[in-house]
């Protein structure tokens, strides 16, 4: 079946099977920044934003996203045009193996879009899907709080 | 995975029900956090998408608040109306159960339709006295408990109605999990209406026993009669340990779940007497 | 210098001055990772080989038995299926999947496929097809009949007479397969039984640890293809690329010159990827089909059929005098290695060798153990590597001894701990599965770690107080640890470095960055020696064709061993630069100073003699004698284009007789709920000495990650099995690791200390901190409730049962 969605701001039309999940469709189309891990909605690695809200792309039927917009971590920023969240992750040592990071950053992005001044507990709650086995989470939480501060500064300018 | 060959976008509930009737057990409503179950079910060949059927609203209606079946946990947690309902318990816990990327996927309809024994939303809705609005060619409205007992198929859940009579009551949830984003080993929800020293209304629900959510009217009755002393809750806890059917699965033994039933009631007592939530 | 932020304090006083070492430079791969670059194995497979074949493995549904018939014809005929592999059409080489040095210390009890079935999840067949779906469908079409046999599902039963034999074929290297013993250790110093009998006070306890998994976010993934020159190329999520090449070369009979192993970015390893699990299959399939072949394990396979931590049952006895001076330490480990003996000998050896020397005051010491085969999932390397299990037993038993002696557990440990200038006979008696190497401690911050940790957790105010709030009661507990830094005289790392004309450098290392940040800290070490900022050095790691040898990322070796190689290579290149600079400045420089082998040890008090003549300063060579300088870029242009042209480059390797232990003191404050048995960790302190912290941010990350994993291991993580030996919770839905909301506040305290045998003063940090949570939390539960738990994890139900048992 044919569906259309906006991926990172670009309109895309694709042919998908009715039981295809968004994760597989995105990776098949070259959006390799979306990482698969448990394929069962348990770990958060594959999280992307649909209409600005984090969802598990390994569970979401691609057909369900027809007509909606999808944001991956690359839609937030890349190596040469890094988003403050990405910079904060690097500077705080919040990425070790990095496999969970694309999912973690999009969850954080959705939070900061809605709540520019989150508490630490709000950060942890808004990213609780995103398992990380390397960092013990602390530096990731600090990175989000740092990025929030940075974004507030930029907004005031 | 399964054998899904068609993804059908219903444009109305009439269309959805007609399609579901035509296809029988090979059709299933999609969405609401039950995707994995559908993909693993070899019987299901057609998915019916209800997202275009206008069931995504939270509305104040004459006799309560209606929450559309396509409303997600995240949407409930953000709802200003629900934050004020029954002490805000539904909004609070909808923002804490499961995990962030599923809270945007799990819906009221999906939770009720699937009714997993460990689901944390359904028992709380039962405690709140929610009614289900559903459509099977005609409009119906029935208490959530009886809807689930009837195990209806083919019907479309349009939403739930939270009764306005709960304005002075407060919802309570106690869930015991291995980690914060785990499912419940035992779940207890309650709705309590207290005026001064008098408990005017008490509904107590247990789930994850590991059986499905069940309302225990006799426990509510005992709470109303017993007053709020520590002894009364100890006594209620003993009754609950007798009354609540618990079992053993790979997560916990029945014996331990009985301890948890007691813990839930003591926590309810602490909460009612203002010690803790 | 010292640093303090919420959750992290770092003291680095009295260290030699440094310009890059000791700073938290950004990870060299940081921006690539945070933008989701396609850098992991499956990303590379998807990007480069969209038409590759996908492999799936048929796994045994029974725990023990034999395949009596296997029919693959229908599967082979399915559209899209290219190859089905079974024991009938694959090499029968015996090997070990453990990625270790040579000669291999683990038994050769594995084959690609066999008729024998040894655990639920064992390999039966593999299918390679054009799509994952076709491969999965084909698995269902393979008709297998099994002859099921009685299984041994409890390690305690394995050595009993008449127990089913897991490896009746008597594999090479197994200790006594006729009694299911894969490995056996017995090391004694003095006469421990006599010393115990003569001790004023003795205590004997048993502690049991559970099956647990590493849970790397990226599951094991391997890709193989034959490149345009006919070379078999394996891209794989591994910690040990050279061991992969050696083992696959032997299994498949491919010459090493025709076999290349590339390690891309790795999504976490923790020991699980120190194992050759898929590389043989994808390489053989690529050989047979001529097509690129990939296997990506599912999360379920990762649980049931990759590797786990060895569950152990440890008996421990301690004898002391009435004042608490240890006289005797006796430890017996019964280690369950599962169906194969991967790392069975070496993990068990470390249970003794990484723990008992910490208390070197005991003169009569014995460590012995048996690693037994069972028909359960296969154990292997896991962060902590046996020491974690050993410390669970040792540190909880010492806590009980302190109670028996009415002593503060910290004071008891202080009286008995190893100190600078001291050794332990165990270092020499017990290495990794063979004789060890004598060690003398040259650096230790343990006294400071104990003091700072106690102060931070509030030890004096809280211990023994049993502060109660409603049905919750609080307590504090602590534990003390050491590990090693590589395996002395065994682990070797190497590095190649060369100078570019613009004064930048290229560094190639065999060291395997699996997410730890080793590429970054090795870059920093080179930059430190060469007097440039880290971004002047470009690093390539772990490609068996393009980088020099390294044993791999395990045994806490990379910073120390690979770091030593990098320091040597950087010094050699620096000295070559100095030689050209001397020519350009018209000054004399003794060629011996340039060509002598660079050293790693003792930089703090015996700097290289060549530094009395020249030093590096921000891209320039400065003559100490004349004060003149030339730029390193000018040196390169001259050397490459102008006069006496030659390449400025060096390859150096490092192997050390030392393995300086890092030290740690862990403290936990817990709240135990009487109603549910739930243990909440409310505060945690990890105080650590890892020598000089090369990159404090990354040190903190290593500590935090290990603590998080350790708390999960202490509280929730546990395999459950059916009566027939099948794991019943093989998913992240049922096997719970800690989420972001579960982590307690953790204060990481790092006290730097210059380790004279380490590169630029560094020791290791990767593993040690996973050893703390089980004993520190267990001791805190004891402080809070008086209940001693002898089995991990401390699940609510287990704690509840223990509380009930004591309270009646």
Question: Mind giving me the DSSP string for B26-37?
Answer: GEEE--BS-HHH
One domain, residues A44 and A88: no
**Of A38, A54, A76, at which residue does a domain stop?**
A76
| CATH 3.30.365.10 placement within chain C | 1-27+444-484+660-808, 154-213+307-441, 491-654
- CB proximity under 8 Å: B 162-191 to A: 180-181
Chain A contacts in chain B segment 32-91 (CB below 8 A): 33, 35-36, 39, 47, 49, 51, 74
Examine the pLDDT at C356 and tell me if it is beyond 70.
yes
Tell me, what's the ipTM?
A: 0.98
Same domain, yes or no, for A45 and A62?
A: yes
DSSP B115: -
Residue among B179, B259, B262 whose CB faces C742 most closely:
B179
Alpha-carbon span A76 to A78, nearest angstrom: 7
- Please indicate whether, in this complex, the C-beta atoms of A39 and C299 are within 8 angstroms of each other: yes
Dump pLDDT digits (tens) for C137-195: 999 999 999 999 999 999 999 999 999 999 999 999 999 999 999 999 999 999 999 99
Q: Encoding tokens for residue A132? A: 């990380």
β-strands A69-71, A47-50 pairing: antiparallel
Is C507:C539 a contact under the CB 8 Å cutoff?
Answer: yes
Position B3 scores a pLDDT of: 82
Q: Cβ contact (<8 Å) for A89 and C218?
A: no
Topology at the third CATH level for domain C491-654? Aldehyde Oxidoreductase; domain 4 (3.30.365)
Same domain, A71 and A6: yes
Model pLDDT for residues C747-789, shown as the tens digit of each residue: 999 999 999 999 999 999 999 999 999 999 999 999 999 999 9
Calpha distance C397→C394 (Å, rounded): 5
Q: Distance between CA C703 and CA C767 in Å, rounded?
A: 8
- Residue of B179, B252, B276 lying closest to C716 (CB–CB): B179
pLDDT at B31: 73
pLDDT of residue B277: 44
- Using alpha carbons, select from C356, C292, C346, C282 the residue that is nearest to residue C318: C356
Residues 6+ apart with CB under 8 A from C55: C126, C127, C128, C135, C278, C281, C282, C285, C293, C294, C295
Q: Do A103 and A45 lie in a common domain?
A: no
Question: What is the extent of the structural domain holding A61?
Answer: 2-76
Indicate the pTM of the whole model.
0.98
Domain end point (choices A23, A42, A76): A76
- In whole angstroms, give the CA distance from residue C106 to residue C340: 9
- Claim to verify: residue A35 and residue A99 sit in the same structural domain: no
pLDDT band at C332 (very low <50, low <70, confident <90, very high): very high
Among A76, A94, A115, where does a domain finish? A76
Question: The sheet that has C259-262: what strands, in order across it?
Answer: C81-85, C123-129, C53-59, C293-296, C221-226, C232-236, C259-262
d(C-alpha A81, C-alpha A46), whole Å: 22
Q: What is the fold of C1-27+444-484+660-808? A: Aldehyde Oxidoreductase; domain 4 (3.30.365)
> What CATH class is the domain C41-149+214-305?
alpha beta
User: Mean pLDDT over residues C407-422, rounded?
Assistant: 98
Question: In the predicted model, what is the mean pLDDT of residues C605-629?
Answer: 96
Tokens coding C678 = 């739930």
Q: Quick check: A21 and A61 in contact, CB under 8 A?
A: yes
**B176/C728 CB distance under 8 A:** no
Radius of gyration (C-alpha) of chain A in whole angstroms: 15
Least confident of B134-138, C41-45, C71-75, C323-327: B134-138
Q: Is C733 on the interface with A (CB under 8 A)?
A: yes
CB-CB neighbours of C133 under 10 Å: 14
Q: Is the pLDDT of residue B276 over 60?
A: no
Domain match, A69 and A89 both: no
Please provide the average confidence, as pLDDT, over all residues in chain B.
92
Mean pLDDT of C666-670: 98
DSSP E strand boundaries for C510-644 = 537-541, 614-617, 620-623, 629-631
Query: CATH 3.90.1170.50 spans which residues of chain C?
Result: 41-149+214-305
CB contact under 8 A, B263 and C675: yes
Better-scored residue on pLDDT, B230 or C141:
C141
Contact B104 A21 (CB under 8 A): no
The domain that contains A105 carries what CATH number?
Answer: 1.10.150.120
CATH no. for C154-213+307-441: 3.30.365.10
Instruction: Return the number of other C-beta atoms located less than 10 Å from residue B151's C-beta.
Output: 7
Question: Considering its fold, how many domains does chain A have in total?
Answer: 2
B4 interaction partners in chain A (CB closer than 8 Å): 17-19
At residue A79, the pLDDT reads 83
Packed helices B217-226 and B230-243: angle between N→C axes, nearest 10 degrees: 160
Task: Note whether C329 and C192 are within 8 A (CB).
Answer: yes
CATH number for the domain that contains residue A64: 3.10.20.30
Q: C741 CB near a chain B CB, below 8 Å?
A: yes
pLDDT at residue C808 greater than cutoff 60: no
A51 and A109 co-located in one domain? no
Residues A152 and A91 occupy one common structural domain: yes
Q: Could you give the CA distance from residue C229 to residue C698 in angstroms, rounded to a whole number?
A: 40
Clarify whether residues A91 and A57 are in a common domain: no
Of C219, C709, C740, the CB nearest to A124: C740
CA triple B270-B209-B41, angle to 5 deg:
135
Q: A125 and A65: one domain? A: no
Residues A6, A72: one domain? yes
Could you write out the DSSP letters of every residue in C702-738? HHHHHHHHHHHHHHT----B-TTS-BS--STTTSPPP
Alpha helices in chain B (DSSP H): 13-23, 35-40, 73-78, 80-83, 89-94, 100-103, 108-114, 121-127, 144-150, 217-226, 230-243, 254-272
Q: Which residues of C611-649 are buried (b: 16+ CB within 10 A; e: fewer)?
A: bebbbbeebbbbbeeeeebbbbbbbbebbeeeeeeeebb
Average pLDDT of the segment spanning C123-148: 98
Per-residue pLDDT of chain A (157 residues; tens, 9 = 90+): 999 999 999 999 999 999 999 999 999 999 999 999 999 999 999 999 999 999 999 999 999 999 999 999 999 999 889 999 999 999 999 999 999 999 999 999 999 999 999 999 999 999 999 999 999 999 999 999 999 999 999 999 8
Averaged pLDDT score across all residues of chain C: 97
**DSSP letters for A82-121:** --HHHHHHHHTT--SS-TTHHHHHHHHHHHHHH-SS--HH
Judged by CB atoms closer than 8 Å, whether chains meet at C728 and B276 is answered as no
Residue C240 has pLDDT above 80, yes or no: yes
**Percentage of chain C modeled with pLDDT above 90:** 97
């Amino acid at each position: 079946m044919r569906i259309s969605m906006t991926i990172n701001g670009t309109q895309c039309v694709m042919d998908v099977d009715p039981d295809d999940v968004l994760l597989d469709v995105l990776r098949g189309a070259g959006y390799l920044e979306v990482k698969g891990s448990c394929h069962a909605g348990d770990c958060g690695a594959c999280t992307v934003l649909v209409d600005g809200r984090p969802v598990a792309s390994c569970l979401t039927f691609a057909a369900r996203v027809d007509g909606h917009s999808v944001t991956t971590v690359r839609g937030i920023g890349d190596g040469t045009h890094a988003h403050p969240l990405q910079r904060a992750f690097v500077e705080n040592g919040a990425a070790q193996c990095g496999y969970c990071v694309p999912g973690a950053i999009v969850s954080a992005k959705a939070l900061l879009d809605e709540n520019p001044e989150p508490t630490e507990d709000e950060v942890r709650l808004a990213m609780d899907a995103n398992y990380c086995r390397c960092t013990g989470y602390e530096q990731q939480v600090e990175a989000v709080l740092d990025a929030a501060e940075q974004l507030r500064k930029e907004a005031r300018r | 995975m399964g054998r899904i060959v068609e993804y059908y976008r219903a444009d109305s509930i009439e269309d959805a029900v007609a399609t579901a009737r035509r296809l029988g057990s090979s059709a299933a409503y999609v969405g609401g956090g039950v995707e994995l179950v559908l993909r693993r079910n070899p019987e299901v060949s057609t998915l019916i998408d209800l997202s275009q059927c206008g069931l995504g609203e939270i509305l104040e209606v004459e006799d309560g608040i209606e929450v559309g079946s396509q409303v997600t946990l995240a949407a409930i947690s953000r709802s200003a109306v629900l934050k004020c309902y029954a002490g805000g318990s539904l909004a609070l816990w909808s923002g804490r159960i499961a995990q962030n990327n599923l809270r945007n996927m799990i819906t009221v309809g999906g939770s009720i339709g699937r009714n997993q024994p460990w689901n944390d939303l359904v028992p709380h809705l039962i405690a709140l006295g929610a009614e289900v609005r559903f459509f099977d060619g005609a409009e119906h409205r029935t208490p959530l408990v009886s809807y689930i007992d009837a195990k209806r198929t083919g019907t479309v859940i349009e939403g739930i109605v939270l009764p306005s009579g709960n304005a002075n009551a407060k919802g309570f949830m106690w869930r015991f999990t291995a980690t914060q984003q785990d499912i419940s080993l035992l779940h207890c929800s309650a709705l309590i209406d207290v005026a001064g020293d008098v408990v005017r209304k008490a509904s107590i629900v247990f789930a994850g026993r590991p059986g499905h959510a069940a309302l225990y009217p006799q426990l509510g009755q005992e709470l109303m009669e017993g007053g709020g002393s520590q002894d009364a809750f100890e006594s209620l806890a003993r009754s609950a340990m007798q009354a609540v059917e618990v079992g053993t699965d790979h997560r916990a033994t029945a014996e331990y779940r009985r301890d948890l039933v007691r813990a839930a009631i003591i926590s309810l007592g602490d909460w009612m007497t203002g010690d803790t939530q | 210098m010292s640093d303090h932020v919420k959750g992290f304090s770092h003291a680095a006083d009295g260290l030699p001055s440094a310009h890059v070492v000791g700073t938290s430079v950004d990870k060299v791969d940081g921006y690539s990772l945070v933008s989701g670059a396609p850098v992991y194995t499956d990303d590379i497979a998807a990007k480069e080989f969209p038409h590759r074949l996908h492999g799936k493995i048929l796994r045994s549904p029974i725990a023990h038995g034999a395949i009596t018939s296997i029919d693959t014809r229908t599967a082979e005929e399915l559209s899209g299926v290219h190859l089905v592999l079974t024991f009938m059409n694959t090499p029968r080489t015996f090997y070990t999947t453990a990625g270790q040095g040579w000669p291999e210390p683990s038994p050769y009890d594995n084959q690609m496929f066999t008729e024998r079935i040894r655990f639920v999840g064992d390999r039966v067949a593999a299918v390679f097809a054009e799509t994952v779906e076709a491969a999965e469908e084909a698995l269902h079409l393979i008709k297998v009949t099994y002859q099921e046999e009685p299984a041994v599902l409890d390690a305690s039963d394995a050595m009993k007479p008449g127990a089913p034999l897991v490896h009746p074929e008597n594999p090479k290297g197994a200790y006594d397969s006729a009694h299911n013993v894969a490995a056996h250790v017995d090391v004694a110093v003095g006469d421990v039984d006599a010393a115990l009998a003569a001790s004023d006070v003795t205590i004997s306890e048993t502690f049991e640890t559970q099956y647990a998994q590493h849970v790397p976010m990226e599951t094991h993934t391997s890709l193989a293809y034959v490149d345009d020159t006919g070379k078999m190329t394996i891209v794989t999520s591994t910690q040990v690329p050279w061991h992969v090449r050696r083992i696959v070369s032997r299994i498949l009979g491919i010459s090493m010159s025709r076999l290349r192993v590339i390690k891309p970015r790795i999504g976490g390893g923790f020991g699980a990827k120190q194992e050759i699990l898929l590389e043989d299959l994808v390489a053989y399939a690529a050989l047979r089909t001529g097509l690129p072949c990939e296997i990506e394990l599912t999360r379920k396979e990762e649980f049931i059929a990759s590797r786990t931590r060895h569950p152990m049952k440890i008996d421990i006895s301690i004898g002391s005098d009435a004042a608490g001076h240890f006289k005797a330490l006796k430890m017996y480990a019964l280690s369950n290695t599962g169906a194969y003996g991967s790392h069975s000998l070496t993990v068990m050896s470390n249970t003794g060798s990484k723990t008992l020397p910490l208390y070197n005051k005991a003169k009569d010491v014995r460590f012995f153990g048996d690693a037994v085969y069972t028909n359960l999932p296969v154990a292997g390397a896991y962060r902590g590597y046996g020491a974690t299990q050993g410390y669970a037993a040792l540190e909880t038993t010492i806590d009980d001894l302190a109670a028996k002696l009415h002593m503060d557990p910290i004071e008891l440990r202080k009286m008995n701990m190893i100190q600078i200038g001291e050794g332990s006979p165990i270092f020499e008696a017990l290495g990794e599965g063979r004789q060890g190497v004598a060690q003398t401690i040259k650096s230790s911050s343990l006294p400071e770690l104990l003091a700072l940790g106690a102060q931070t957790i509030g030890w004096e105010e809280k211990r023994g107080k049993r502060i109660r709030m409603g049905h919750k009661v609080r307590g504090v507990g602590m534990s003390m640890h050491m590990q090693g830094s590589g395996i002395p005289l065994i682990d070797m790392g190497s590095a190649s470095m060369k100078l570019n004309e613009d004064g930048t450098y290229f560094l190639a290392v065999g060291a395997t960055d699996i997410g730890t940040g080793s590429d970054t800290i090795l870059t920093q070490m080179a930059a430190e020696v060469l007097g440039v900022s880290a971004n002047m050095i470009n690093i390539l790691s772990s490609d068996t064709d393009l980088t020099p040898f390294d044993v791999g990322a395990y045994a806490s070796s990379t910073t120390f061993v690979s770091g030593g190689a990098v320091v040597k290579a950087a010094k050699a290149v620096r000295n070559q630069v100095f030689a050209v600079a001397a020519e350009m400045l018209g000054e004399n420089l003794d060629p011996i100073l340039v060509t002598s082998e660079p050293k790693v040890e003792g930089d703090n008090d015996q700097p290289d003699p060549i530094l009395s003549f020249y030093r590096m300063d921000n891209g320039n060579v400065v003559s100490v004698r004349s004060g003149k300088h030339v730029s390193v870029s000018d040196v390169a242009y001259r050397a490459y284009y102008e006069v006496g042209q030659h390449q400025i480059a060096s390859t150096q390797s490092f192997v050390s007789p030392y393995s300086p232990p890092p030290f740690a003191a862990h403290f936990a404050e817990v709240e135990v709920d009487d109603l549910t048995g739930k243990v909440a960790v409310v505060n945690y302190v990890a105080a650590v000495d890892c020598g000089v912290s090369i990159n404090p941010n990354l040190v903190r990350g290593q500590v935090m990650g290990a603590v998080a994993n350790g708390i999960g291991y202490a509280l929730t993580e546990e395999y459950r099995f059916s009566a027939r030996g099948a794991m019943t919770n093989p998913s992240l839905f049922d096997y719970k690791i800690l989420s972001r909301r579960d982590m307690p506040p953790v204060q990481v305290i790092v006290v730097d200390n210059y380790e004279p045998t380490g590169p630029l003063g560094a020791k290791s940090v990767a593993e040690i901190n996973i050893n703390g949570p089980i004993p520190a939390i267990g001791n805190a539960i004891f402080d809070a409730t008086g209940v001693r738990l002898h089995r991990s994890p401390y699940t609510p139900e287990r704690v509840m049962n223990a509380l009930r048992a004591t309270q009646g």
